[in-house]
Structure 1
Amino acid sequence: MLPTVAIVGRPNVGKSTLFNRLVGKKLALVDDQPGVTRDRREGEAHLLGLEFTIIDTAGYEDEDPHSLPGRMRMQTQAAVENCDVALFMVDARAGITPLDEEIARWLREGDAPVILVANKAEGKSTEAGVMEAFVLGLGEPIPFSAEHGQGLADLFQALLPHLEREDGEEHEKEFYEDEESAPLKLAIVGRPNAGKSTLINRLLGENRLLTGPEAGITRDSIAVDWMWTNDEGEERPVRLIDTAGMRKRAKVQDKLEKLAVSDGLNAVNFAEVVVLLLDATRGLEAQDLRIADKVLEEGRALVVALNKWDTVEHGSALYQGIKQALFDGLAQVRGVPIMTVSAATGKGLDDLIKVAFETRTAWSQRISTGVLNRWFEVALEANPPPAPGGKRIKLRYITQNKTRPPTFVLFGTRLDELPESYRRYLVNGIRKELGFGAVPVRLTLRSAKNPYAK
């Protein structure tokens, strides 16, 4: 495990900008308005050869613990309690505020070492703000600019004594010999208030993600590493990815919500299996089908989970109705697994993870060319390709050139005239006969070039 560094401070001092600079990617959402970050986000930071886990936290606000800002503060406090070092960030342009002083008092009472960072310290006009930070009683502030990368060497020197291993050993990274033992990258997507963060908290057994009655609490896509224990008692690594709720595009007017939805769609690209979480009390809506279609379009394996199943009446009729609607709405992939779960009670969650692992196995498998072409010959014999205009379409052989998603190349002549219905016949046969189930399968057609075509 890498040592952990938590960035804390009041809203809009530049915490997410520093986080993005240290991880080398724009992972955290950044905007001029305060309070963009709500959940704590982790990333692997690299600073002049120093490696550590960096945690971006929500802006610390003095509010009622039951309010949304109050619950955000509790997430920040949990991050600091478990970190090796806290980076306390203040705004050198704005100077020290009463809230900065309150945060400093709280940090002084804790056990974590604190490094004071005076951000936005570009130019001489901010020198007074940097000097003012001495009143916080946390030692000498580091003049810094997260936006421009100034002060990184000073930050490195301040972090080094806290993060270096006493025995001189480097922190080990985990390597996996094969795809099956690698962490399952599992993204949870759905409309706002479907219970995505609650589900992940239930799996983890802790309030790791911010939840509440308000719709749209989650903004950033948050990844959390976790170990799942299967029926045989074997531990399997999982990377759980929580995403922002996705509403209809026409309803998404707010700039931050657009950024959050875009971040969620980006998380789908990095996932292996995606769980589309539905609120069973609201049934299946058109937006759910749009999200599912987007997941399959990106070639990800899909599992549908009906949440809040413990509160549903006439469950059998509802289940059959949703199953039929998915069958009709997702014509390109029939038979997507549908699970009934309750994030509130934990019922069905173990089965959900088990099915997610099985789905990844199908999504990752490779079929030998020999087995594939034996199936292909039987498929052609059972249903020969059509002969448009009296001229036969010749299908010669098929091969699998990629996995994750499984992708096949079909070779033959006059393939530009092959009807879409016959192409679907082959794809459905691959799924059904070769064990791919309901994962997205891609089929590319390739004809030999005719030297006499001109």
Structure 2
Amino acid sequence: MPFTIAIIGRPNVGKSTLFNRLVGQKLALVDDMPGVTRDRREGEAKLHDLHFTIIDTAGLDEGPKGSLTARMQEQTETAIALADALFFVIDARIGLTPADRAFADFARRADKPVLLLANKSEGKHGELGAMESYALGLGDPIPISAEHGEGMGELYDAVSKLVPPADDEEEREETDEERAARPIRVAIVGRPNAGKSTLINHLLGEERLLTSPEAGTTRDSIAVEIEHKGRGFRIYDTAGLRRRSRIEEKLEKLSVADALRAVRFAEVVVLMMDAQNRFEEQDLRIADLIEREGRALVLAVNKWDLMDGKPGQISTLRRDADHWLPQVSGVPIVAVSGLMGEGIDRLMQAIVEAYGIWNRRVPTAALNRWFEGAIADNPPPAVSGRRLKLNYITQTKARPPSFVLFCSRADAIPQSYLRYLVNSMRETFELPGTPVRITLREKANPFAHKRKRPN
């Protein structure tokens, strides 16, 4: 198990900024408004030659039992229990507050090594606040600026006493077996309050992610590792995606950008819809975005336990999906209940199958036979009285299946004919739901370099 450090402190002291600094990416949302972070978020940190797991947490705060604030506090307490050491962060510009003193006692009771970090220490005001922090009794403060990267050398010296340096190993190429053993990256997306976090909590068997009837509870894209029937998955819970015209607050814009980033880095994307309000305009927009990004798509119709159970409803779902999403014809669709745990096995199987199709390569001989037959059954149309000539097609890559079609006049081939080829390919090679890319390329004319003879 890697050495784990949890970042704790009251809200808005710069915990997420420090987290982003250590992982080398802007994974956690950062804003001046307190309380942006709600769930705990893990990342792989690197500090020179030190490698460890870092956990960003919600700001330590008090709230009535059962409230969202209280459950955020429980997430932080869980992170502390999982950690081997703690970064206790204060805002050096503001100085010590009663909340800092109260939560310093909380950190001491954890009975784990605690490093006191005086963040925002740049300038004279920061120096004074760092001096004040001696009163917490947590040892010498380490003045840092997470935003500007100051004090990282001093932080390294302190952390190196806790974390063993990484072994120097030469980088080697990943084998096919290791690649197959890697977890499938899955992003769960959808409109606000579709039940994304509830579904993931059921998969984990614990309330790892905060849920609430209030839309917009999830802000960061939180990644969790699960194993289902011997197969590993890395699942990203994301913020709900509303229409752009309805997004007004800066924080929601950041959350949406984080969700879209999760889609781009995922391999399979599960679009969750409410069973009672499915295939709304925003659902279709999200599905179209996923197809344009080239990700494998699975539709999950959640809250199925609230439906009346009339026969034929699953068949209706299939017809609706093919009607509203012709660009991903045959996309797998699963009825689930994240709250009751219904349909979970079918959903996970659909994810594995969609991942396999997304990685599929078509044998060249079979591709050529299909191509000749498709052209014979439906020849390309004539444009300006001239017949279009399609020479041959080849697959250039998978993830998603992508092909190059060599032809005589690429700009003259209508989109309707390309859709015919894609749909025929889906049916012939069993590529339901996954994006299929066909790029047109004009074949070079071998006689173009020869000049015409003078009369």
* Structure-1-length-normalised TM-score: 0.94
8 Å Cα contact 2:225-2:235 kept in structure 1: yes
Secondary structure of 2:161's match? Answer: helix
Matched, 1:296 2:295: no
Deviations 1:96-119 (A, max 9, x none): 111111111111111322111111
Secondary structure of 1:263's match? Answer: helix
Matched, 1:90 2:90: yes
Q: Which region of structure 1 is more displaced relative to structure 2, 239-248 or 375-384?
A: 375-384
Q: Give the superposition deviation at 1:281.
A: 2.8
Q: In the alignment, what sits opposite 2:190?
A: 190
Partner Cα separation in structure 2 for residue 255 and residue 118 of structure 1: 27
What is the correspondence of 1:139-158 to structure 2 with a 5 Å cutoff? 139-158=139-158
Partner Cα separation in structure 2 for residue 86 and residue 365 of structure 1: 45
Partner Cα separation in structure 1 for residue 408 and residue 188 of structure 2: 43
Partner Cα separation in structure 2 for residue 392 and residue 82 of structure 1: 68
Q: Which region of structure 1 is more displaced relative to structure 2, 413-422 or 29-38?
A: 413-422
Q: Give the superposition deviation at 1:388.
A: 2.9
Secondary structure of 1:436's match? Answer: coil
Secondary structure of 2:198's match? Answer: helix
8 Å Cα contact 1:80-1:86 kept in structure 2: yes
Partner Cα separation in structure 2 for residue 415 and residue 130 of structure 1: 66
Partner Cα separation in structure 1 for residue 439 and residue 220 of structure 2: 36
Q: In the alignment, what sits opposite 1:78?
A: 78
What is the correspondence of 1:246-325 to structure 2 with a 5 Å cutoff? 246-316=241-311, 319-325=314-320
8 Å Cα contact 1:144-1:152 kept in structure 2: yes
Partner Cα separation in structure 2 for residue 252 and residue 322 of structure 1: 30
Matched, 1:6 2:6: yes
8 Å Cα contact 1:227-1:236 kept in structure 2: yes
8 Å Cα contact 1:180-1:361 kept in structure 2: no
Matched, 1:338 2:333: yes
What is the correspondence of 1:367-446 to structure 2 with a 5 Å cutoff? 367-446=362-441
Change (3 A) 1:82 1:340: same
Change (3 A) 1:410 1:301: same
Partner Cα separation in structure 1 for residue 113 and residue 289 of structure 2: 45
Q: In the alignment, what sits opposite 1:236?
A: 231
Counterpart code for 1:177: D
Secondary structure of 2:231's match? Answer: strand
Q: In the alignment, what sits opposite 2:44?
A: 44
Q: Give the superposition deviation at 1:314.
A: 4.4
Matched, 1:117 2:90: no
Change (3 A) 1:439 1:373: same
Q: Which region of structure 1 is more displaced relative to structure 2, 285-294 or 103-112?
A: 103-112
Partner Cα separation in structure 1 for residue 139 and residue 60 of structure 2: 21
Q: Give the superposition deviation at 1:163.
A: 1.8
Q: Give the superposition deviation at 1:453.
A: 11
Change (3 A) 1:24 1:294: same
What is the correspondence of 1:128-143 to structure 2 with a 5 Å cutoff? 128-143=128-143
Deviations 1:10-63 (A, max 9, x none): 110000100010011111111111111111111111101100111111111111
Q: In the alignment, what sits opposite 1:207?
A: 207
Matched, 1:106 2:126: no
Change (3 A) 1:249 1:320: farther
Q: Give the superposition deviation at 1:420.
A: 1.8
Q: In the alignment, what sits opposite 1:232?
A: none
Counterpart code for 2:9: G
Partner Cα separation in structure 2 for residue 18 and residue 173 of structure 1: 28
Secondary structure of 2:405's match? Answer: strand
Secondary structure of 2:176's match? Answer: coil
Deviations 1:378-424 (A, max 9, x none): 22222222223442211111000111111100112123222222211
Q: In the alignment, what sits opposite 2:66?
A: 66
Matched, 1:350 2:349: no
Q: Give the superposition deviation at 1:180.
A: 3.2
Partner Cα separation in structure 2 for residue 126 and residue 359 of structure 1: 53
Counterpart code for 2:260: L
Partner Cα separation in structure 1 for residue 108 and residue 235 of structure 2: 33
8 Å Cα contact 2:332-2:432 kept in structure 1: no
Runs of 5+ consecutive residues of structure 2 not aligned to the other structure: none
Q: Which region of structure 1 is more displaced relative to structure 2, 237-246 or 304-313?
A: 304-313
* Count of aligned residue pairs for this structure pair: 447
8 Å Cα contact 2:87-2:116 kept in structure 1: yes
8 Å Cα contact 1:89-1:117 kept in structure 2: yes
Runs of 5+ consecutive residues of structure 1 not aligned to the other structure: 230-234
